[in-house]
Amino acid sequence: HVEVLDGKRSTHILLKNATYLNSYMREWMTANIWIYNDRIVYVGEQLPEQLTECEVVDCEGKYVVPGYIEPHAHPYQLYNPETLANHAMQFGTTTFINDN
């Protein structure tokens, strides 16, 4: 990750001009978000020096939030679990806690 920050390696994904929820400050902010492998390595105004292996996603007017967790679900009673998961992902839910 340090090599990406130092400009020696390319980030894999750049979310450019993303409006994101800063959960610590409890407010919406706009920044560039650098992702290397499966980790966010930088959030701020700067753009990466290396873009050779980078997918740039223009997020102007879009919102980036942490994945939501559904804390209590019974997917087997309601839907096919895969269909339910695909539907929920469209709205930001990435995790279900099931008790059956």
The reply to whether 30 and 10 lie within a common domain is yes
Q: Which of 72, 59, 5, 64 is nearest to 36 (CA)?
A: 5
Count of domains forming the chain: 2
61: burial class by Cβ within 10 Å (0-12, 13-18, 19+)? exposed
Structure confidence at residue 23 (pLDDT): 80
The reply to whether 13 and 56 lie within a common domain is yes
The reply to whether 51 and 73 lie within a common domain is no
Sequence-ordered strand ranges (E) for 37-92: 39-44, 55-58, 63-64, 68-73
pLDDT tens, position by position, 28-38: 999 999 999 99
Low-confidence ranges of the chain (pLDDT < 50): none
Structure confidence at residue 36 (pLDDT): 94
The reply to whether 49 and 79 lie within a common domain is no
Structure confidence at residue 72 (pLDDT): 78
The reply to whether 47 and 72 lie within a common domain is no
The reply to whether 54 and 88 lie within a common domain is no
State which residues form the domain around 11: 2-64
The reply to whether 81 and 57 lie within a common domain is no
